Structure 1
């Protein structure tokens, strides 16, 4: 429930020591070389288990909100951490395609389980801290879902990402929406893209928007930024776009990038 856009991010400092081999003894010379450590991939990853809670937070910082955002993080983050809250990484918004909302970042967080989220929400200091969100952000949308399956994602700075936040006309319209997504999937793959995660039926918190939660956030990874243009020119898209029209009430659509 916390966002740190334009505010200092927590960093982990790793201390390493280097020991030079010396020819003082044969035993030292014959010691096996240390195992080669795997170099972490750039970007960030999401590795979560079934039953954990994923939060994706889209935040639009006020022009004068940096100090308030910093204070919010300094007060809320330690309390949330005590309940197992972790920051996983963020995708920066490169371009807003469709939206009245203008977020700078989509940040990813995890909780051990729903019970931990509920316990944090009952902390006596939390209501007063939460009430300061409007001082820092023009809007802060918190999408949350309890995972029904294990989840592994790798966000790569060399790739490009889109997220489509979809509000459907009715709950039953999910059938047509799935027909649209499934119908264009081959065109997405042929155009250098792949569906990587569908966040279905999340809850949503917001202080400046319609409180109705979207039905789905759909994340797609792309090799190039013209991938969706190619999809729209495909026969698969032309054959299935009717299902988008029959299912969608409104959408937000953004191009995203992982920090390098």
Structure 2
């Protein structure tokens, strides 16, 4: 299959998802989450007589443990919930020259959807905050004074990078995170031929990070998703137990490669009853 044909299949996959009602439901919930965070900023503005900017709103959504682990992760899983299951999957596989190409198509669809989801989060926050918050690429007075209360931001980050850089790094971390979760979701479906098993498999990774956080298993959090995808959980000369930004990029990229290879290996071992049905999914 040519690259152009592969792109056409990926675009078809993505287009189908973006036209489903669940995509608009995800956008609506994301909007409500951002609105809630904006109300928090407004409250802190009144209480502490300080100011915030658009980057505070973005980072409070994109690098906050509760928003990412409890909300955004599960919203993404909900979004891709029936991405791989079509009544004519067998016929669509025939359009590919090999199982490799079919798996690659779905993997690229996961990555593209992760990119779109993060872009939507950014756009929603910008639209919500554009009328009330400043866009100047400087750390706000609020970030410098009460960052711990608002979004758990370490003050040390201020001397490391600009808020725009922080948003860009957080965006990349989230894209990697959603790609990993989506690929694990797909692996669960490949192994068990059930959608809910894909959800359980990917949810297990999220729950491990949440459990380690609340059980204060500091020695292990460096090797789980949460500390590696949340910018504020990184080592800015605070604690050696926290990961560095380069470490997290290498860690996340390695996990993506491992899950990709594992998923491709498992998928190639599956049999497809062309002309039958996929009810066992």
Q: Which one has a bigger Cα radius of gyration?
A: 1
Instruction: Compute the TM-score of the two structures, normalised by the length of structure 2.
Output: 0.22
Larger helix percent? 2
